[in-house]
Each structure stands twice: as structure tokens, then as C-alpha cells.
Amino acid sequence: MAIKDKCYAMLEMEFPPSLMLPSLLSPEGWEWYPPAHNQPFWVGEDSDGVRWLVKFRGGFYAVRERAFSVIAQALGVSCQSSTFLKIPQDYPPLRSGHSVADFTDRYQLAVWFLSEHEHGHLCKCCPLDGLNRTMELNPYDVAVLRDSAILHAIDMARGEMLGMLCEMHEPPGHLFTRDHTFVQIDNEQMFSHSAGADLWDSPWVVIDDHIRENGLNEAIQLCKQVLSLPDDVFDQALRLPSNYKPSMEWSICREIENIRPRAQIFLDEAGRNV
């Protein structure tokens, strides 16, 4: 089975995984919607009616976020899908007067737009209510996520653990769709240079100097899955369209090459702590 097919089968998402998206989008003819809710992000709608969230943070962030999505989705982690976008010189957001501050990079990321469950609005028998209340009583408890009616809730922990292996500079974001599915978002701070991320620092694994058995087991399983990923997953994560040439501040390839060694180190240390 091809890598693309594996990702699609494992995730069972309502949106296509990153590897199923076109490798490079052109926004010619898109309908653009200006930023809302105090967010500096634009939404572009293509000719097929698909909406794309464009943050205009530049190609270096685009490469990092898209690479993480390929690896995360190959592991079955519910993570937002994205692909690359090259902006024409006269793109509508700039012409409209709602331009993004200090925008200079034509190479950007296009994120498959998801409709979010409204904050503070709980539908009848909403499972978000139960998850929020239980997490307040039992913070960072993977058992709570396992028992939740929220689809892919366990990936709140698994995605952050993976971020530790991917040298994340800051934690990712969380999104709950209107049909109560968890999706990890905002992964552009992965593969940072010397961020010092360590899976043992994850509160899902260790809290108040106490190892959480359920969290440790989840982390061990994740690391084993990382080590079992075929090389093609990491190759696909690094693959760029031939005419997509953003400036790179450091080697993302080197950071991705370090994922499996970090997973092995954690497994070795976990074996000595069990």
C-alpha cells in the first residue's frame, strides 16, 4: 500500500491528508475573505468551493508545518492538512488595503479550512462539556482522553508528544470541529533550532516529578511507531514542488533526521525507569 493510502486509511478524517492535496496551489481566481475575529489570517476560496486558511507567515513556516502534518498523519495523529501556495505579485489581500504587516514572502502555506465548534456554545449533550470538566479535575490524564466521546481526543496528548520529538518551540493549537472531532493545528513552530524540547518534559508523561504510567505507556507506543515509519514518510515530508523556493533559516532536514534518534533515546531511558 502506498504511503498516501496508508495515511488516508489510518486517519479516517473528514478532510484529505496533506499528501492527498495538490503539491502547489495557485490562487488565481480565488475569492478572498479578509481577517476576522482579530486574527490576521485570510481565507481564500478556490473554484471548487474549497476554502483555504492562509496565515501569510512565510515559506519557512510553511515547510515546517506541512512537514509535521505528513509525519503526524502517517502516525494516525489527527492533524490539520496543508499544502504550498505561491502568491502572485498583485494578490487581492494586498490590493484590498487589508495587507499583512511586513509581508515580503511570495511562498506561503494553505491550510484546509475547518469549521470550528463555537467557543462557549455547547450543543445538546455536547461531549466537549464532559471533556472540559473531566480535564479540569484530571489534567494531562491520557485515560480521560481515551474515554472521551470526542473523536481523536487521544491525539491531544499524542500530537504534543510528537511535537517534543520534533523539537517544537511552542505547543501546537487545538481545534474541535462542529461534529466533535479533535484536530491539532498551528504546527509551524515545529523543527525549531535548539529549542530544547524533551519528551520527559511533557506533562502528559511527567508531572510534579512523578511519572504518569498511562502517559509513559502512550509515549513509549508513539516512539515505537515513529521508529517503524518507513523512510518514505520522512522523504515526503521534506519534498517541495520544483518551483517552490522559500528561504530557509536552518536545515529542516537535519531536524527531521533527529526525530528517530530522539525516539530511541526516550525508549532507552524509559526502559531504565520502568
- 82's enclosing H/E stretch is strand 82-86
Vertex 258, ends 255 and 261: CA angle to 5°? 170
Can you tell me which residue has the cell 462542529? 178
* Full-model pTM: 0.91
pLDDT string in tens for the chain (274-residue length): 444 544 444 456 679 999 999 999 989 889 988 877 777 788 999 999 999 999 888 999 999 999 999 999 999 999 999 999 988 877 766 555 555 544 568 899 999 999 888 766 667 778 888 898 999 999 999 999 999 999 999 999 999 999 999 999 999 999 999 888 999 999 999 999 888 899 999 999 999 889 999 999 999 999 999 999 999 999 999 999 998 988 899 999 999 999 999 999 999 999 887 6
Which has the closest alpha carbon to 112: 51, 22, 58?
51
